[in-house]
Structure 1
Amino acid sequence: MKAFFEGIQWLFENILFVPHNFLRELELESWFVANIINWIFMIICTVAMVYWILQLKLHRDNNEEYQDTTAHSFLK
């Protein structure tokens, strides 16, 4: 049973955590390059949020939004 858990340890330390170790070492050289993945995710989330807000505004301007408080049966 001990060998099974040591195998899981080896898998994570030597294979699955290699990208994380690379980014950890890269962070000492350049913080911006090491965090490029975070910057990309922040840009994607910002674009998605702006798109969502514009779609909500579009539906509100066209009076397509149903705002009745009894829209759900459990609120009656």
Structure 2
Amino acid sequence: MMKSFFEAIQWLFERILFAPHDLMRFTELKNWWIANLVNWVLWAIICYYIYYWTIQLKIFKDNNEDEQDTTAHSFLK
């Protein structure tokens, strides 16, 4: 009973959940650019949100809504 349960978990991970990783692994052998397209897309998304975040920080700082309390810890006094 327990052995079949763990084999089902193994099947789920190996056949279903890791399938995209296997696809990228096999694609890398044929074309490096296609295999790393996912990485470049994720980097573009990260860069966009870092830019968005810094713009939002600037907006709050310009409106004096940014509270900068450097005495949050006793050792910073």
- Answer yes or no: same fold by TM over 0.5: yes
Per the alignment, residue 67 of structure 1 pairs with: 68
Size of the aligned set, in residue pairs, is: 73
Per the alignment, residue 7 of structure 1 pairs with: 8
1:8 counterpart letter in structure 2: I
Question: What is the aligned-residue RMSD (CA, Å)?
Answer: 2.0
Compute the displacement of 1:42 (Å).
0.8
State the alpha-carbon separation in 1 of the partners of residues 20 and 27 from structure 2: 10
Per the alignment, residue 31 of structure 1 pairs with: 32
Compute the displacement of 1:16 (Å).
2.0
Compute the displacement of 1:11 (Å).
1.9
State the alpha-carbon separation in 2 of the partners of residues 7 and 68 from structure 1: 53
1:29 counterpart letter in structure 2: K
Q: Please, which moves more after superposition, 2-11 or 18-27? A: 2-11
Alignment TM-score, normalising by the size of structure 2 = 0.75
Q: Which runs of 5 or more residues in structure 2 are unaligned?
A: none
Compute the displacement of 1:22 (Å).
0.8
Q: Which runs of 5 or more residues in structure 1 are unaligned?
A: none
Compute the displacement of 1:59 (Å).
1.9
Identity %: 52
